[in-house]
Amino acid sequence: MNEPIISMKNIEYAYENKSVLSNINFEIPQGSFMGLVGPNGGGKTTLIKLILGLLKPDSGSIDLFGQPVDKFKAWDKIGFVSQKSNSFNKGFPATVFEVVSMGLTAKVGYLKFFTSKHKKKILHTIDQVGMGEYAYENIGNLSGGQQQRIFIARSLVSDPELLILDEPTVGVDYENVQRFYELLHQLNNEQNITLLLVTHDTGTMTEHATDIVCLNKTLHFHGNPKEYLSLSEKDLSQFYGHPVNIVTHDH
């Protein structure tokens, strides 16, 4: 198994004395594509916030690239596409180029300016997500699926080794979801970027992910897609905390 990029040990987290996460132990190996699923309120977004250092666990330890999260400084190694990304202020007059350039701000550093090399990199990344022709268009004029690609480009432009995506396909139509997964697949396979994807869309995700974790306050399942798909309705109902009916369908 490859070196773990994220390692979580005995994580406990409570919000106002109400336990949100308990006894969380898992690792994300380098090069994997991990799907994180679970019911609403099951602690998925909290887990992401703990990994990103936005929240501190009550107990337990989180290591990123072998370093404790509170000492971790190389944030440019981690790209993040938030659930809130597509609820940004649509009236903000920023071009696609400007939005993607924001992904380089921290990497370039204080008191330094973008060079022509950075600008080339930004345009290249916009091309990579298939949005080259819209580089100088205001982001507010694009569709939800196109905007999501731009936010991925913003995270990719700093050449991250790990990309964390929190429910990025909410509100995106089926065709764009498919293109989105093709892009993730390509990033994982061709560029060896480790992916952690929080999603409700388990159907398409299982076609691409290498690992699946099911979270409802604590980890209920950790295995590969084949094992996940072989779970019975009874197992899933137990994980989700309510009855689950498995419906398979071709889109």
Partner 1 sequence: MLADFIQYDFLRNTFLTGLLIGIIAPLLGTFIVVRRLSLIADALSHVTLAGIAFGLLIEKKFAAGLITPLYSGMAFSVLGSIFIEKLRGVYQAYQELAIPIILSGGVGLSVIFISLADGFNTELFNYLFGSVSAVSQNDFYSILAISIVIILVIRLFYKELVTLSFDEEHAIVSGIHSKRIHLLFIVLTALVIAASIRIVGVLLVSALMTLPVAASMRIARGFKQMIIFSIVFGELAVIIGLISGYYFSIPPGGTIVLVSIVILLLSIGLKRFNYTPKKEREVK
The count of chain residues that interact with partner 1, using the rule CB under 8 A, is: 38
Q: State yes or no: residue 127 binds partner 1 (CB under 8 A).
A: no
Per-residue three-class SS string for 189-246: HHCCCEEEEECCCHHHHHHHCCEEEEEECEEEEEECHHHHHCCCHHHHHHHHCCCCCC
| Structure tokens given for 175 | 């065709």
Task: Give me the least distance between CB of 143 and partner 1, in Å please.
Answer: 14
Answer for which of 24, 28, 99, 198 binds partner 1 (CB under 8 A) is 99
Q: In a 3-state reduction of DSSP, which class is residue 136? A: coil
Query: What distances in angstroms separate CA 217 from CA 13, 20, 71, 82, 137, one per listed residue?
Result: 9, 6, 26, 20, 42
Count CA atoms closer than 13 A to 142's CA, side-chain side: 28
Answer for which of 32, 45, 101, 148 binds partner 1 (CB under 8 A) is 101
Q: State yes or no: residue 136 binds partner 1 (CB under 8 A).
A: yes
Residue 192 to residue 188: CA distance in whole angstroms? 5
Q: State yes or no: residue 111 binds partner 1 (CB under 8 A).
A: yes
Task: Give me the least distance between CB of 141 and partner 1, in Å please.
Answer: 9
Residues 67-86 that bind partner 1 (CB under 8 A): 73, 75-76, 78, 80, 82, 84-85
Task: Give me the least distance between CB of 251 and partner 1, in Å please.
Answer: 31
Q: Under a CB-based contact definition with an 8 Å cutoff, are residues 130 and 182 in contact?
A: no
Task: Give me the least distance between CB of 119 and partner 1, in Å please.
Answer: 12
Task: Give me the least distance between CB of 78 and partner 1, in Å please.
Answer: 8
| Structure tokens given for 1 | 């198994």
Residue 12: strand pairing partners: 59
With CB under 8 A as the contact rule, which of the stretches 97-105, 142-150, 182-190, 222-230 interacts with partner 1?
Answer: 97-105
Residues 35-54 that bind partner 1 (CB under 8 A): 52, 54
Q: In a 3-state reduction of DSSP, which class is residue 182? A: helix
Residues 150-179 that bind partner 1 (CB under 8 A): 154, 158
Residue 135 to residue 44: CA distance in whole angstroms? 33
Q: State yes or no: residue 15 binds partner 1 (CB under 8 A).
A: no
Answer for which of 88, 202, 203, 237 binds partner 1 (CB under 8 A) is 88
192 burial via Cβ count (<10 Å: 0-12, 13-18, 19+): exposed
Q: State yes or no: residue 92 binds partner 1 (CB under 8 A).
A: yes
Contacting residues toward partner 1, per CB under 8 A: 52, 54, 73, 75-76, 78, 80, 82, 84-85, 88-89, 91-95, 97-99, 101-103, 105-108, 110-111, 113-114, 133-134, 136-138, 154, 158
